Amino acid sequence: MDNQKRVITVQDISCIGKCSATVALPILSAMGAECALLPTAVLSTHTGGFSGFTFLDLTEELDKIVEHWKKESFKFDGIYSGYLASPAQVKQVENLIDDFGPHGAVAVIDPVMADHGKLYTGFTQEHVEAMAGLCGKADIVLPNLTEATLMLGMEYTPDGYGQDYVDAILEGLAALGAKVPVLTGVNYGDGRLGIMGIDTRSGEKFSYFHEKIDQSFHGTGDIFASAFTGALMRGESLESCCKTAADFTVECIKNTMDTPKDRWYGVRFENCMGLLCK
């Protein structure tokens, strides 16, 4: 019997920059899932750190692609969205969940829009509000601290916080409607960085902490979310998905530290891919 999982990933194509589609596709493939791509936009590079990038919005094309998929009666096991170019596209992903969710597709939403306390270039408060709505329809949400606090209208505190702050964020995300909120980038000041989540259906909490590397790299959120989704499709527990994805991301970062600094626009994940094929 063919039990290969098929996932739709909704991502932009940043032609150079090692993020979104150019990491989601190889990672999901390496982990054994078939990956269908719904491309939100085509950019010459990602928007972080490059100026003069080109940007082609594919909002109109998305509906046509999905209409065709529905006509063909394709079935999917997962819907995994990352960078969405506009509030209209956020709505399109909600429609995707309505279309394919009832047939068994688990919705994993990474609300890609901000980091280090700041929205990425081009995003507005309207996008934040739309994303909060989408997260409310998701099975699993994977925000970082900045994205979570923006969606909840909470103060962003980069460090010096305790368990109460994280609990309040997870509760807030659950109150939006997310079944499994998972917060990334949790830092209790002990030299580690972690992921904390709760499955609101069972009340079970889970977490995974790993060594903190004091260097930030583009695309690592996408690498984490892609590997998390791949692990989920492989049937791993939520805690195991956190571990698989975080360990892989840390290895990719370590594998990049010694490359020339002007090449630090993404991590050198390519020769770490073997870690995912098991």
Catalog residues that contact ligand PXL under the rule CB under 6 A.
Answer: 12, 14, 19-20, 43, 46-48, 83, 112, 120, 218-219, 221-222
Q: Choose between 12 and 199: whose C-beta lies nearer to ligand PXL.
A: 12
Q: Choose between 19 and 198: whose C-beta lies nearer to ligand PXL.
A: 19
| 219: enclosing H helix or E strand | none
Q: Choose between 172 and 219: whose C-beta lies nearer to ligand PXL.
A: 219
Report the amino acid identity of residue 45: T
Q: Choose between 4 and 121: whose C-beta lies nearer to ligand PXL.
A: 121
Q: Choose between 36 and 41: whose C-beta lies nearer to ligand PXL.
A: 41
Shortest distance, position 99 Cβ to ligand PXL, whole Å = 24
Tell me the HSE value of 20 on the side-chain side, using a 13 A CA sphere: 28
Q: Choose between 112 and 173: whose C-beta lies nearer to ligand PXL.
A: 112
CA distance 217 to 74: 36
Shortest distance, position 120 Cβ to ligand PXL, whole Å = 5
Q: Choose between 218 and 243: whose C-beta lies nearer to ligand PXL.
A: 218
Kindly write down the DSSP assignment for every residue of 225-243, as one continuous string.
HHHHHHHHHTT--HHHHHH
The answer to whether the CB of 31 falls within 8 A of the CB of 59 is no
Shortest distance, position 202 Cβ to ligand PXL, whole Å = 31
Angle at CA of residue 102, ends 75 and 20, nearest 5°:
60
Shortest distance, position 128 Cβ to ligand PXL, whole Å = 15
Shortest distance, position 151 Cβ to ligand PXL, whole Å = 16
CA distance 207 to 37: 30
The DSSP 8-state label assigned to residue 143 in this structure reads -
Phi–psi pair at 118, nearest 5 degrees: -135, 140
Shortest distance, position 78 Cβ to ligand PXL, whole Å = 19
Neighbours of 266 (CB within 10 A): 23
Q: Where are the beta strands (DSSP E) in 58-211?
A: 78-81, 106-109, 114-115, 118-119, 140-141, 180-186, 192-199, 204-211
Shortest distance, position 116 Cβ to ligand PXL, whole Å = 11
CA distances from residue 90 to 84, 85, 172, 217, 229 in whole angstroms, order as listed: 6, 8, 20, 25, 19
Shortest distance, position 40 Cβ to ligand PXL, whole Å = 9
Report the amino acid identity of residue 195: I
Q: Choose between 44 and 200: whose C-beta lies nearer to ligand PXL.
A: 44
